[in-house]
Structure 1
């Protein structure tokens, strides 16, 4: 068997490799949240408004307030940790 085929047919999982993959995915998500802090609103799909059943009138989305964007969960965590760190630095 070739080494590539042998590696593909191995059914055992390496916990260290899975941990490294999870860490890499977490780091990638943090970078993604820092660069792009906003995602599209889940309720209106980023449109910011809804059409009436007739299709002639529209109204703003209640969740995003009409701008079609929401702050990502990772960015909320990042901001909370940053403010906590800043508050701790000011009290010293």
Structure 2
């Protein structure tokens, strides 16, 4: 086997493995922590001492992962197209 073919097969296998692993992670844990509030649910006010709820996650501390968002979009597109 020549080195170029071996490198291509190895790269394709690695990409497939990483994609499969991310898909399983999105299936098991569809939510990740919010990147703005870091899962704390509240942000400090700019003026004063109080806090307010994070607008990105609506105070839950969780955000839908990109992979799960894409899966939900594809599933909705498929069900709407086959009605």
CA deviations on 1:19-64 (whole Å, 9 max, x unpaired) are: 1110110011011101111000000001110134799522111111
Aligned pair partner of 1:18 in 1, 4, 11: 11
Q: How many residues align?
A: 79
- Structure 1 equivalent of residue 37 of structure 2: 44
When normalised by structure 2's length, the TM-score is 0.83
**Secondary structure of 1:70 counterpart:** strand
Q: CA-atom RMSD, angstroms?
A: 2.1
Q: What's the offset of the Cα at 1:88?
A: 2.1
Higher radius of gyration, 1 or 2: 1
Unaligned runs of 5+ in 1: 1-11
**Secondary structure of 1:14 counterpart:** helix
Q: What's the offset of the Cα at 1:87?
A: 1.4
CA distance in 2 between partners of 1:14 and 1:55 (Å): 58
Unaligned runs of 5+ in 2: none
- Structure 1 equivalent of residue 52 of structure 2: 59
